Each structure stands twice: as structure tokens, then as C-alpha cells.
Amino acid sequence: MVEFATLYEVDNFKEFELRPITPLDALEFAKAQNESFEQLSNYFNQDYFSKPRSFIEIFNNLMENIRSQDVDFYGFYNGRRLLGVGSYHFISYSSNGCQVVIWMRRSEEGKNIGTYFLKRLTLYAIYNKKFRFVELLIDESNLASRAIARKVGYEHLESFAGHTEGRLGSGTYCRYLCFNGEIEALAELWFAILSTRS
């Protein structure tokens, strides 16, 4: 289950807002993406993130994602400034879960904002979107993202070979899962009941 906000996060990040990205956010989105294209090319589409893109290219790509029925696009904001981008992807093998993909603006890295952002995205998926579990697929070589997943409360379920993206793609994904705490509590209750009957 997700670790809730620390006192540091409450004191320093309470003004930050998680909300859907809209066409009105396109300029700020373009600024954040072009500031971060080198980092994004490490584990995302290397061809697309090989260089800064024009506003029109970024706008068209953003609109495609906003209109998609397979993904919900969210931003993490401090006022109008976009700090990070997260997306919810609907997974084919279960309607009970979703996959989250996240990236942080380069100038916001190393400030513990990414950890808090992932907590907020995960809790929103469970309590607002009513998913029973949230999945992360992280490249095995992306040690920073793997550490954040563990810190937030995700469990490493498996590693498997796959076509990973980016310049630093290792060819192996690590699957992390975070379950709704109600499921864990129900399982513990049933285990306790069954234990008393034996």
C-alpha cells in the first residue's frame, strides 16, 4: 500500500495540484518537455526525444494523447508551472488495474517531488478512479525510478525481457504493483478467520 505523505511533503508540497492536462496547458507542457528532452530520451522514445520539438509538434502529440480512449493525462502543477506529467493507461489483462507512467521536468528532479507525485497519482487511481491495483513498468537500469517505486510502497513482482525504449534501455522491464489496502485488509481478515478454525 502507498506510504502517505511525510511531514516534509505536507509542509513543502501542499500547494501543488494534480489535475488533468487540457489544451490550455499546451504551452507550459511544451516548455517542460523541451527542457527535459535529454532525460526523456533515456527511457522514452529516443527518436521523438532526440531534440527539442516545435510547439506545433508537441501540441499535436498532446492533443492526440488527450483525445485517446486508452490513456488519461495528468499534470502536477505549482500554480501554472508544470512540474511533472503522469498518465494512466488502461491495461488489457484486467479491468481492475491501470498502469502509471510518470516523468518530471528536469529542473524539478532531485527535490523529492517525483516521489510525492507518484504517491498522489497512485492514491488518485485507487480512491478516485476506483482501481484495485496500480502497475509500474520500469526499465531495469532506471535505478532512480525503481527506488522511488519502492519508497512509495510498490512491490517488485517480476522482471522480464521486453523491447525497452530510450538510449539507456536495458531490454528488461521490472513490474511493480501497488494494491488497494482494502484487498490486503480483507485477505488478512480471512487468513485470521481460517487460522482460528484450524
pLDDT at 188: 66
Amino acid symbol at 122: T
Q: How many domains does the chain have?
A: 1
Structural contact between residues 185 and 1, judged by C-beta atoms closer than 8 angstroms: no
Residue 3 has pLDDT above 90, yes or no: no
Residue 53 has pLDDT above 90, yes or no: yes
Q: Is residue 148 part of a domain?
A: yes
Residue 49 has pLDDT above 70, yes or no: yes
Closest CA to 146 of 109, 168, 118, 174: 174
Q: Is residue 96 part of a domain?
A: yes
Sheet harboring 133-139: ordered strands across? 17-20, 71-78, 81-90, 97-104, 133-139, 172-179, 155-161
State which residues form the domain around 143.
7-197
pLDDT at 193: 74
Residue 181 has pLDDT above 80, yes or no: no
Q: Is residue 81 part of a domain?
A: yes
Q: Is residue 1 part of a domain?
A: no
Question: Which CATH number belongs to the domain containing residue 108 in this structure?
Answer: 3.40.630.30
Confidence of residue 167 (pLDDT cuts 50, 70, 90): very high
> Tens digits of per-residue pLDDT, 15-46?
999 999 999 999 999 999 999 999 999 999 98
pLDDT at 101: 97
Three-state SS at 87: strand
Q: Is residue 193 part of a domain?
A: yes
Scanning the chain, the segments in alpha helix (DSSP H) are 7-13, 26-35, 37-43, 55-67, 113-127, 143-152, 181-197
Structural contact between residues 103 and 83, judged by C-beta atoms closer than 8 angstroms: no
Q: Kindly tell me the burial class for residue 29, based on how many C-beta atoms sit within 10 Å of its own C-beta (0-12, 13-18, 19 or more).
A: buried
> Tens digits of per-residue pLDDT, 66-125?
998 889 999 999 999 999 999 999 998 999 999 999 999 999 999 999 999 999 999 999
Structural contact between residues 89 and 71, judged by C-beta atoms closer than 8 angstroms: yes
pTM for the structure as a whole: 0.88
Q: Is residue 74 part of a domain?
A: yes
The DSSP line for 109-151 is: TTSSHHHHHHHHHHHHHHHTS--SEEEEEEETT-HHHHHHHHH
Q: Is residue 184 part of a domain?
A: yes
Q: Is residue 2 part of a domain?
A: no
Three-state SS at 71: strand
Please give the average per-residue pLDDT across 158-181, as a whole number: 94
